Structure 1
Amino acid sequence: MADTPFTDLPIRLPLDMAENAGTEQRYPVDKWNPPHCGHSGMRIDAEGRWWHEGRPIARSALARLFARLLRREADGRHVLVTPVEMLDIDVDDAPLIASEVESEGAGKARTLRLRLALLDDWVTVDPTHPIRVEEGERGPRPYLDLDHGLSARIDRPAYYALAELALSEENTPPGLWSGGAFFPLESAA
């Protein structure tokens, strides 16, 4: 990918980051504290689609790179962070979508993993990465909490797969065990 031009990007990237746009490279965004430089002109819509200045970002490798540079600040803002700058990014709901479920074991011995669609990463549900359900305008909205203050909305097919597992176990309230903790699949409200 080194021959792909990365000009006119909304954020300044060191050359090695731009060249690794399509990889699974991890970045220590929690350790970087560069100056805040304004807004990126970017937005992530409620379906997890990335936009720049009103136009969709069509290159999935570029959106994946930006997703690996995301973190959420203590004041609730989402930001893109590199070693040299920090820019705000608008997020309509959650910045990522969890779209697939893997389950191993049953009951208290179960381990659940959810796949983050854009990143193609699998995250184990545990006390550090819990499932939570919030009441929304159109009913319950399930989320998976992630590192760096981020969250992923669990899409409908993945939520239905979780609900089917939960109903088969007949827990009250309906929910599932994973990583030694119980996660209800209904909102606390």
Structure 2
Amino acid sequence: MSNENGNNPDFNNILSEITKAQGKNQLPPVDKWNPDFCGDMDLVIKRDGTWHYQNSPIGRQRLVKLFSTVLKKEGDNYFLVTPVEKLGIKVEDAPFLVTRMDLEDTEKGPVIVFHDNCDNSFPLSSQHALWVEQDQKTGEPSPYVTVRSNLHALIHRNVFYELVEIAEEQVIDGAKHLGVISAGEFYSLGTI
């Protein structure tokens, strides 16, 4: 992973830049950062939510969480960005994986709160919408939810089953849908 100057960006440089840029408990403003592209980094986020650097899993969850705060997607490409560097990475499916959910009662009715593998928590709402894509060959559903900006999470199969358990039927445009209600909105899990 060399940049155009022949230098090898490494974890320490990236960590240093992230630490400088981060405020307390706030995500860095990656959407405002537009540094020059420095090359590709040998980092892959697998479909199961694990992060691999140079073909080895990153075992330190704290490091994964830190890097996840500087993820940026442009078109179909993913990058880790700092104010001074932009490194291309590979993402097999979605950069995050929803690993659990809670159902909370609020004044406005039930709200589903998702939790992902990078310690993000967010309510299923118009800002964090859910949708399901189906594999054309197998018919297997792949449910997703928006985490932030244009970054999404694949919903783990066990969590999807929990959603199905609390789902209800609704007719939309003449078709019966099975879905869940959160924050007053209906989210289809698929047609029946």
TM-score class, shorter: 0.7 to 0.9
Instruction: Work out the CA distance in 2 between the residues paired with 1:50 and 1:44.
Output: 5
Q: What letter matches 1:88 in structure 2?
A: G
2:177 paired residue number: 173
Offset of 1:160 from its aligned partner?
A: 0.7
Aligned to 1:35: 36
Tell me which of 177, 182, 190 is aligned to 1:186.
190
Residue identity opposite 2:88 in structure 1: D
Superposed displacement of residue 43, structure 1: 0.5
2:40–2:88 CA contact under 8 A, matched in 1: yes
Change (3 A) 1:53 1:16: closer
Match of 2:76 in 1: 76
The residue type paired with residue 133 of structure 2 is E
The equivalent of 1:152 in structure 2 is 153
Q: Is the Cα–Cα contact under 8 Å of residues 113 and 124 in structure 2 kept in the other structure?
A: yes
Q: Corresponding residue for 1:127? A: 126
Instruction: Show the counterpart of 1:104.
Output: 104
Contact 2:180–2:187, Cα closer than 8 Å, also in 1: yes
SS state at 1:100 partner: strand
Q: Report if aligned partners of 2:17, 2:82 keep a CA contact under 8 Å in 1.
A: no
How much does 1:58 deviate? 1.6
Change (3 A) 1:9 1:25: farther
Q: Residue in 2 aligned with 1:92? A: 92
Rg larger for: 2
Q: Which residue of 1 aligns with 2:55?
A: 54
- CA-based RMSD of the aligned residues comes to 2.7
Deviation at 1:164, TM superposition (A): 0.3
Deviations 1:59-83 (A, max 9, x none): 111111111110211x211111111
Instruction: Report the Cα distance in structure 2 between the residues aligned to 1:11 and 1:186, rounded to whole angstroms.
Output: 45
Could you say which residue in structure 2 is the equivalent of 1:113?
Answer: 113
Query: Greater relative contact order: 1 or 2 (C-alpha under 8 angstroms, separation 6 or more)?
Result: 1
Q: Unaligned 5+ residue runs, structure 2?
A: 1-8, 171-175
Where in structure 1 are there 5+ consecutive unaligned residues?
A: 1-7
How many angstroms does 1:12 deviate by? Answer: 3.1
Superposed CA deviations along residues 98-150 of structure 1, whole A, max 9, x for unmatched, are 011111249x8221110012x22211111111111001255000011121311
Aligned length: 176
CA distance in 2, matches of 1:19, 1:58: 24
1:25-70 superposed Cα distances (whole Å, 9 cap, x missing partner): 4211111111111111110011011111111112111111111110
Deviation at 1:13, TM superposition (A): 2.6
Instruction: Quote the Cα distance in structure 2 between the aligned partners of 1:164 and 1:24.
Output: 34
